Every structure is written in C-alpha cells, then in structure tokens.
Structure 1
Amino acid sequence: MSSVSRILATARPTLFSSVRAYSTSSAASEASTAAASSATEAAASSATGYYKVTQTRSLIGVPKSTIKVLKSLGLGRRIGRPVFQPHAPTAAGKILKVKELVKVENMSGTIPAEGYQRTRATKGYKVVGKMLP
C-alpha cells in the first residue's frame, strides 16, 4: 500500500462503527438507531479535514488527461505550492490519479495561513507618492 493510499484510507469514515451499533432485538433497535445516528455524526465530524496537496514533479511528458486532473485540483502552475482539498471521494480519486506527481498530507481543522501566502517576492521598494503634479 502506497503512502498516498494509506493517507486517503485514514481519512475515510469507517462503516463498521455504525454496523456494530445495530442489534437484532426490537427493544434494542430504538437505542441502536440513536447510537448509529450518533456514530455517523461522529464519523462525519471527523471527516471535516483537508488534504494538503503539493505538486512535486513537472508536467512535461504527462498525458493531457493527467494535466486536466491536476488543473481541476488547482495545481499545475508552480511546483511546491500547496493546495487544500476537502476530504471527499472526488478529491481522493483525483489525488490517486496523479499520485506520482504530488505529495499529500492530512490536515485537520481549518486551513492554515500558509495556504493563502503570496507567491511573489516583495518589490524591495515602496512608492511614497507621485513626483509630477
């Protein structure tokens, strides 16, 4: 199992927690439905995270379909620039399609400020005002 597959597998909610909550008796069925709904809510709340996807390889010689997948992820402009994708099956499928070209990390909580940093360097000077009237 590759490292990308391992990261994607840890982000998926487990189905077994809701299956174990069900019981065969009718008296326990009402309690089990409440337990199952709380288990699915807990799985949904634990799934609120992000994949930090960073392009590590060039697109030279890559098929057009792979380039389209990278563009749909928000990559393809600069190598080393991170993009944050929510934990979702669509994002996981796209990442698996381009796993040789990217590095993936699991992030929980909100998107950190590094995702919004400027990519350009500072100018080195500051415009104070106009010299001509």
Structure 2
Amino acid sequence: MSSVSRIISTLRCNITFPVRAYSTSVATTESVPAATTGHYKVTQTRSTIGVPKSTIKVLKSLGLGRRIGRPVFQPHEPSAAGKILKVKELVKVENVPGPIPAEGYKRTRANNGYKVIGKML
C-alpha cells in the first residue's frame, strides 16, 4: 500500500457527515400562513362574446358571466387561482385580506324607482 492510499484511507475514516433529522409530524392549522386566509375580489371587465365555451364554463364556476362589473369573492385556494388564470383576460382581480367585506353581501339588484309609502285602501 502506498503512502498516498494510506492517507486517503485514514481521511475517509475521520470524515463525518451531518445527520439529517426528518420529522413525520403533521402540520397544524397554526402553521398556516396568514396569506391563505384572505379572498380574491374578482370582477368581470369584458364580455364573453366570441369566447370558447370552456372559458364561459370557468366564468360560471367562478360565479361570473351574468353582469359585467359585479364583484365575486373567492377564497385563496389553488383551485380558485387556477380558474382565475384561465380567464385572466376577462377579469380584474384584487387581493382582500381577512374575511369578506360587507360590500360582498350587498344585493346587486337595482332599485325599482319608486317607494311604497302606504296602502290606498
């Protein structure tokens, strides 16, 4: 055995590698980042005329397609993000942290134009 091979063999014995510790614990809800607790405010800005049927179906699944300018709130989830990416040319998206604001629950129906004060008879 040559002197070089003896040095290499002694070095191999002295080299130690760091031990990696793997954890099998399940993540709790406390470790969920705060960014996932918000909502996307999705507003349709363009018409669906001339758009493929698959894109119209995605708009319907988001809750859009009835009126342009009507906002819809979607939770921060990968499925909602994928749908939004599919129709990104037709919608405007804003990030809303926290729960859905009160404007998300307002009625979208227009006023009748008159008000009933009382009965005539």
Q: Number of residues paired by the alignment?
A: 104
Shift of 1:54: 0.6
Moved more, 122-131 or 96-105: 122-131
Q: Is 2:50 the partner of 1:66?
A: no
Identity across aligned pairs (percent)? 74
Q: Residue deviations 1:48-69, cap 9 Å, x none?
A: 1111111010010111111000
CA gap of 1:122–1:72, structure 2 versus 1, over 3 A, is same
Q: Among 59, 68, 78, which residue is 2:67 paired with?
A: 78
Runs of 4+ displaced beyond 6 Å: none
CA gap of 1:72–1:25, structure 2 versus 1, over 3 A, is closer
1:56: which partner in 2? Answer: 45
Q: Is 2:118 the partner of 1:118?
A: no
2:86: which partner in 1? Answer: 97
Counting helix residues as a fraction of each chain, which structure ranks higher? 1
Find the residue that maps to 2:60 and give its secondary structure. helix
Structural mapping, 1:12-23, within 5 Å? none
1: CA distance between counterparts of 2:79 and 2:32?
A: 18
1: CA distance between counterparts of 2:98 and 2:120?
A: 49
Q: Residue deviations 1:61-86, cap 9 Å, x none?
A: 11111100000000001111110100
Q: Is 2:38 the partner of 1:42?
A: no
Q: Residue deviations 1:7-41, cap 9 Å, x none?
A: xxxxxxxxxxxxxxxx9455xx67xx78x947x73
Letter in 2 for 1:66: T
What TM-score comes out, normalization by structure 2 length? 0.72
What TM-score comes out, normalization by structure 1 length? 0.66
